[in-house]
Amino acid sequence: MPLQRSPLQRRQTLAEFYQELASSEHPGSRIVGQQMLELLNVLNALFPHMTLWGLTSLARLVLSPDPLMDSGWFVIVSSAVLPATYYIEYLLPASRRPWEHAYVRGESQSMEETKQYLLIAMRESEGWVGNPEMEAVLGQYGLAL
C-alpha cells in the first residue's frame, strides 16, 4: 500500500485508526472516520507506486515525504464532519513564508475538489519536488508547473 503510517506511530495502521473512529458510537467520530477512510482510498489510488507517509494528530492526517517526519509536516487533511467536506492545509516553503510556520488553509466541498486541493497543497508545499510519480499525477490533473 503506497500510503503508510509513520513508524513514529506503530500501534495501528492508518486504516485501522480511522476504522476505529468509523465504528465509534459517537456520530461525529463515525463521520470523520468514514470520510478519512474514503480519503485514504483516494490517496492510494492517486499514488499507486509512490510511498506517501502519514501520521495522525487527533483525527487529522499529516502527510510528509519521509517516514520519520524529519523534514516536518507539509500537508494536513481533516474531515469537516459535513458530507464530502474536508479541510486541507499546507505549509508554505521557507522561501515564500512571510513568517515562520505560515500556512494556507482551505475547505473542499466534494471528493473531486478535495483531490484537486490536495494535489495543489502537495505541489505548493514543495515537499515532493522532483518525485516523478508526483509530477505525473500533477500533469494528469493539469496541475504541473
125 and 93 Cβ atoms separated by less than 8 Å: yes
Q: Which residues contact 112 (CB under 8 A, 6 or more apart)?
A: none
Residue 7 and residue 69: Cα distance in Å, rounded?
10
- Print pLDDT tens along the chain (145 aa): 589 999 999 889 999 999 999 999 999 999 999 999 999 999 999 999 999 999 999 999 999 999 988 888 999 999 998 888 999 999 999 999 999 999 999 999 999 999 999 999 999 999 999 999 999 999 999 999 8
CA terminus-to-terminus distance, the chain = 28
Of 77, 61, 83, the residue nearest 9 (C-alpha): 61
* pLDDT tens digits along 59-99: 999 999 999 888 889 999 999 988 889 999 999 999 999 99
**Whole-number pLDDT of residue 1:** 54
The grid coordinates listed for 132 are 516523478
Residue 29 and residue 41: Cα distance in Å, rounded?
18
Residue 47 and residue 83: Cα distance in Å, rounded?
24
The grid coordinates listed for 74 are 507539509
